[in-house]
Amino acid sequence: MVVDSKGNLYFGNNNEWVIYKLDSNGKLITKWGSPDSQDPNLILCTKDIAIDNKDNLYILMPTCDLVVKKFTSDGKFIGGWGKYEGEEGKGPFFSSPESIALDSEGFVYIAEEGKIRKFTSDGNLVKEFTLKNIDSQKDLVPSKLSFDKDGNLYVIDIASHCIQKLNSGGAVIAQFGSSVEGEGETQLEGPWDIFVDDEGYIWLADIDRVLKLPPELLVKSK
């Protein structure tokens, strides 16, 4: 789910293959989507949604004709890019895209196992970050991305029950959690969603609880 500059809410319904737009009172404004593979409005298995500063939506759909599709806030198709690995067509190719986020400059970040790739808004690769989990050299398994107001990127590593904070250059500068899951003060069970508010507090959905973490609780990386 994402919220635009006017307070409208957007989310995908994978049972109906559509995107819903609601106002701040929960009233339906519009919805769009199509199961027709020849229709540019084809919506299949929405994995994540991001929004830019012009309220355009970027929808991540790993099994769709285009992995990333861009729409206006009223559902007009603008364009798209990316193919699922093994399919025919022009890249970039993705094997297991899990989350999408946009920074303040409009660059698009997509998380896959062991890496995060940075693209221009029209799908040209800018940079790739290779990530390992906090306790070993195994690939990080990112499940969600979120930016703070200073341009730092927060990544949930669902495999090692932690979050990592990256600077704009892709270096890990802080982390929270450990490879041992639990409900302790510095433990997580199964984090799956994250949001950083304007005061720097980190809101984290973790199995059956929601945590509000002050930024100083993250341990700085050595």
Predicted confidence (pLDDT) at residue 33 exceeds the cutoff of 80: yes
Q: Is 181 exposed, middle or buried (0-12, 13-18, 19+ CB in 10 A)?
A: middle
- Of residues 84 and 196, more confidently modeled: 196
What letters, b where the CB count within 10 A reaches 16 and e where it falls short, cover 140-161? bbbbbbbbbeeebbbbbbbebb
Predicted confidence (pLDDT) at residue 185 exceeds the cutoff of 70: no
Fold of 98-220: Neuraminidase (2.120.10)
The residue type at 156: I
Predicted confidence (pLDDT) at residue 41 exceeds the cutoff of 70: yes
What the block records as the tokens of 208 is 């059956």
User: By the 8 A CB rule, do 16 and 3 touch?
Assistant: no
Residue with tokens 């069970």: 189
pTM of the entire structure? 0.90
Backbone angles phi, psi at 148, to 5 degrees: -95, 175
Neighbour tally for 119: CB within 10 Å: 21
pLDDT score, position 4: 96
3-state secondary structure of 215: helix
DSSP symbol at 179: S
pLDDT score, position 69: 95
The residue type at 37: S
What the block records as the tokens of 147 is 């930016």
Predicted confidence (pLDDT) at residue 183 exceeds the cutoff of 70: no
Tell me: the pLDDT tens digits for 84-137? Answer: 876 666 678 998 899 999 999 999 999 988 889 999 999 999 999 887 766 666
The ranges assigned to domains in the chain are: 98-220
Tell me: the pLDDT tens digits for 139-170? Answer: 778 889 999 999 999 999 887 788 989 998 88
Return d(Cα 34, Cα 130) in angstroms, integer. Answer: 35
